[in-house]
């Protein structure tokens, strides 16, 4: 029996976009064992997925953030005995772990750090979406188009639905009312459309009869309360959901409005109409929505865009025009068109 390992220890969005690798491996090799190495925060991206046999956690930002823990993790991988490791993660640490695992086949993009430690690499820069870049790695294993699953499969249980079902029941949501989920945050400050704009947009949507559900992390809860502004039909779930509960919340939405961030990929998994707001980054980086119905807001005539792969902590030009010039009324108009 062949054993495959997919390594993805980056951000939540990266973890979500790596799911098609595991799904495609199992699609071609039905009897293979497919493992995933990931960080604890992203574990639930992979749980309940029938194509993933085991999840190995690596707390590289916490208790395992030292050389001794890395050596221990390498010994674990060697003891399991993998036939092949596939990773889109570009870090040097991932390359070292892969190399010393002694897997006979180790595949990564050619642009990764320490690429010489892999047995096979491939250039993926020309691929349009990150999922295409990820799946391109499998072509080195003689995967054909029919073997590849270009879809994000995320799973949650009935228990994970209880939170959002409770909200919908409390607000008497039925087929005549619609739900707009808004993600006003991002790990990178410059990727955040101003909270003042989100507040204005949420107010306009609420006035138009929609229930607004705000999602984000516990550390962003004050942003949620600012946007909510004591409005009755704006619900602040920031910091109130597990990851799988977040999947359930977004799956119930009629529209997601978000910065360039992980909720976009969750919406893609459930084909939820999506409006994305881009500032310092570009859709061309390959992280845009895969939902059938989508719209992108960005200011294209700025020479300073993009100012980095992820954005940054502050605008290097001090004007933040890439976000400030996208006005709430324009986003509202498109939202109403999407909502019918």
**217, pLDDT greater than 70:** yes
Residue 293 in any domain: the answer is: yes
Q: What is the pTM of this model?
A: 0.96
pLDDT of residue 42: 98
CATH code, 63: 3.40.50.2000
Residue 152 in any domain: the answer is: no
Range in 244-258, 276-290, 300-314 with the lowest mean pLDDT: 300-314
User: In 10 A of CB 210, how many CB atoms?
Assistant: 21
Residue 154 in any domain: the answer is: no
Domain that holds residue 109: 3-147
Domain shared by 9 and 60, yes or no:
yes
Rounded mean pLDDT, 137-163? 96
Q: How many whole angstroms separate alpha carbon 215 and alpha carbon 170?
A: 18
Domain count, the chain: 2
Mean pLDDT, rounded, of the chain? 96
pLDDT of residue 147: 95
Give the tens place of pLDDT for each residue, 133-149: 999 999 999 999 999 99
**224, pLDDT greater than 70:** yes
Residue 268 in any domain: the answer is: yes
Q: What is the DSSP letter of 56?
A: E
Q: How many whole angstroms separate alpha carbon 108 and alpha carbon 182?
A: 34
pLDDT of residue 176: 60
**293, pLDDT greater than 90:** yes
Residue 315 in any domain: the answer is: yes
**What is the band of 308 on the pLDDT scale with cuts at 50, 70, 90?**
confident
Helix 243-251 to helix 162-170 angle, to the nearest 10 degrees? 50
pLDDT of residue 41: 96
Of 95, 121, 147, the last residue of a domain is 147
Query: Angle at the Cα of 87 (from 137 to 1), degrees rounded to 5?
Result: 85
pLDDT of residue 1: 84
Nearest to 3 by CA among 69, 78, 70: 78
pLDDT of residue 340: 86
SS3 content of the chain, % helix, strand, coil (to 5): 40, 15, 45
**What is the band of 175 on the pLDDT scale with cuts at 50, 70, 90?**
low
Specify whether the CB–CB gap between 183 and 205 falls below 8 A: no
């Amino acid at each position: 029996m062949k054993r495959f390992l997919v390594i993805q220890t980056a951000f939540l969005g990266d973890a979500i976009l790596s799911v098609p690798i595991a799904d495609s491996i199992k699609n071609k090799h039905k009897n293979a064992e497919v493992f995933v190495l990931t960080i604890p925060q992203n574990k639930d991206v992979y749980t309940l997925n029938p194509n993933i046999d085991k999840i190995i956690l690596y707390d590289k930002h916490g208790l395992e953030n030292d050389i001794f823990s890395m050596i221990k993790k390498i010994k674990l991988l060697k003891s399991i005995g993998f036939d092949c490791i596939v990773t889109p993660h570009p870090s040097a640490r991932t390359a070292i772990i892969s190399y010393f695992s002694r897997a006979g086949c180790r595949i990564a993009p050619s642009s990764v750090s320490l690429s010489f430690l892999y047995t096979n690499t491939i250039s993926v820069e020309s691929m349009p979406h990150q999922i295409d870049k990820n799946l391109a790695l499998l072509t080195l294993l003689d995967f054909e188009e029919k073997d590849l699953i270009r879809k994000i499969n995320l799973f949650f249980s009935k228990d994970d639905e209880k939170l959002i079902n409770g909200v919908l029941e409390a607000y008497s949501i039925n087929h005549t009312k619609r739900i707009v989920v808004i993600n006003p945050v991002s790990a990178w400050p410059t990727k955040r459309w101003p909270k003042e704009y989100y507040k204005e947009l949420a107010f306009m949507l609420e006035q138009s009869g929609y229930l607004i559900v705000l999602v984000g992390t516990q550390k962003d809860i004050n942003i949620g309360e600012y946007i909510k502004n004591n409005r009755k039909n704006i619900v602040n779930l920031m910091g109130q959901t597990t990851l799988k509960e977040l999947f359930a919340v977004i799956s119930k939405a009629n529209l997601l409005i978000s910065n360039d961030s992980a909720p976009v990929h969750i919406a893609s998994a459930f084909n939820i109409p999506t409006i994305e707001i881009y500032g310092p980054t570009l859709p061309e980086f390959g992280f845009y929505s895969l939902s059938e119905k989508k719209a992108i807001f960005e200011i294209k005539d700025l020479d300073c865009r993009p100012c980095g792969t992820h954005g940054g902590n502050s605008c290097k030009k001090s004007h933040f025009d890439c976000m400030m010039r996208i006005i709430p009324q324009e986003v509202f108009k498109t939202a109403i068109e999407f909502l019918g």
